[in-house]
Amino acid sequence: MRRFLFSIAAILLAVSICQCSPKGQNDETAMDLPQEQILVGAESLDEYLPLLEGKKVGLLSNQTGILSNGTHLLDTLLSHGVNMVLILSPEHGFRGNADAGELVSSSVDEKTGIPIRSLYDGKGGYPTQETMDEIEVMVFDLQDVGCRFYTYVTTMTKTMEVCAKNGKKMIIMDRPNPLGFYVDGPILDMQYKSTVGFLPIPVVHGMTLGEIGMMINGEKWLPDGIQCDLTVIKCKNYTHQSHYSLPVKPSPNLPDMRSIYLYPSMCYFEATPVSLGRGTDKAFQMYGHPNMKGYKYSFTPRSVDGAKNPPQLDRECFGVDLRTEPSIEQINAVGLNLEYVIDAYRNLNLDSHFFRSFFELLIGRDYVRKMIMSGASAEEIKAMWAEDVASFKEQRRPYLLYEE
């Protein structure tokens, strides 16, 4: 077993990584009893091994790139004689244990001796020309969580761009979207384009990375309308109504499915002084601040692996506990919920000092901050992006690879 796999990997030897539960089933933990086994793209070796035969291959992946037998795709490719030249790693590193936004140096994989080139080393996030000169095919296998501001979709887009410019083929090993059953939030105003918002899509886009890759090509979103030579290895037995539970946490501060389901509603606290629980074992499942009034619940962020210097470090924060309530069914029924941010804004009474400029990069539009400050409700703000959601659902339809 590779060193970079999380301890949960031991469970995977007995339970398939591909889980599917009916919509509405309680997904509190990272494991459910499967209704029908979902097979991720990496399981379909017969579809992609012929494309790699005799080629010099690069792999962009991390700790999530595992198959149902608990082995990593890298080991699987090597065991089938694929010529693996190099590894690329996204935010959080190849082992998935670096802090959010932490720069990660390039290194060498200890088991195989294959070079690991970090795309999160502060140099722009694009594969280098040296990398492109060394490979013939790029294999991409990352588990996304379905939000525009989760940086793996940005990493994929930048990699597609470089592959297109260099005439290199890219193969996406598709994986289910754990938020693939709904679309919510405003489409990004491209004046706020950044690493946490790179494409004109809603906050919750409801697509797999393979589908987004097809849409990038089809909508000609790469510079000058260039297109990537792209092959998507589809999941099997997956639809957009599947509730897929991740067997391995995709990044240090998304410990389980409850955090992932709350993530579209909680991430905006990153652009405020309010803690969302980084430095606890249940990040994104609470929020609070030392000066919030009227709450009995409290927590104290500590320096831990994956959150070495969290907001409000070592300060007792008072606020709201979301670890058990609302229910998973309620969270998913509401979707993107700004009530939490509005509650903290009104409680702290900081006016414009509550928000940082990063807020627009996350939410993607300038009207949201203005409406919160003017006293608008979460429902009134959500109504503003209803047309965005409806139009995007139509725009994405030609690129969907799985039944809605």
Which pLDDT does position 1 carry in this prediction? Answer: 37
Burial 85-112 (b: 16+ CB within 10 A, else e): bbbbbbbbbbbbbbbbebebeeeebeee
List the Cα angle 330/334/340 in 5-degree steps.
95
Helix axes 257-266, 339-348, angle to 10 degrees: 60
Which pLDDT does position 102 carry in this prediction? Answer: 65
Lowest mean pLDDT among 22-31, 124-133, 247-256, 265-274: 22-31
Which pLDDT does position 124 carry in this prediction? Answer: 87
Which pLDDT does position 92 carry in this prediction? Answer: 66
Which pLDDT does position 101 carry in this prediction? Answer: 57
Which pLDDT does position 15 carry in this prediction? Answer: 30
Is the pLDDT confidence value at 131 over 90?
Answer: yes
Is the pLDDT confidence value at 129 over 80?
Answer: yes
Q: Judging by DSSP bridges, how do beta strands 56-61 and 83-89 pair with one another?
A: parallel
Which pLDDT does position 252 carry in this prediction? Answer: 87
> Stretch 253-267: mean pLDDT, rounded?
97
The dihedral formed by the CA atoms of 71, 74, 79 and 81, expressed in degrees to the nearest 10 = 160
User: What residues pair up with 140 in beta bridges, in sequence order?
Assistant: 60, 172
Which pLDDT does position 24 carry in this prediction? Answer: 37
Q: What is the pLDDT of residues 18-30, one digit of tens each?
A: 333 333 334 444 4
Residue 90: pLDDT band (50, 70, 90) is confident
Residue 12: closest CA among 83, 65, 81, 89: 65
Which pLDDT does position 20 carry in this prediction? Answer: 39
Which pLDDT does position 383 carry in this prediction? Answer: 98
Question: How many Å apart are CA 34 and CA 32, to the nearest integer?
Answer: 6
Residue 337: pLDDT band (50, 70, 90) is very high
User: What residues pair up with 236 in beta bridges, in sequence order?
Assistant: 39
CA 292, distance to chain mean position in Å, is 30
pTM over the 0.75 mark: yes
What are φ and ψ of residue 138, in 5° steps? -105, 125
Is the pLDDT confidence value at 99 over 80?
Answer: no
Domains in the chain: ranges and CATH: 9-233 (3.40.50.12170), 257-373 (no CATH)
> Stretch 305-332: mean pLDDT, rounded?
96
Is the pLDDT confidence value at 134 over 90?
Answer: yes
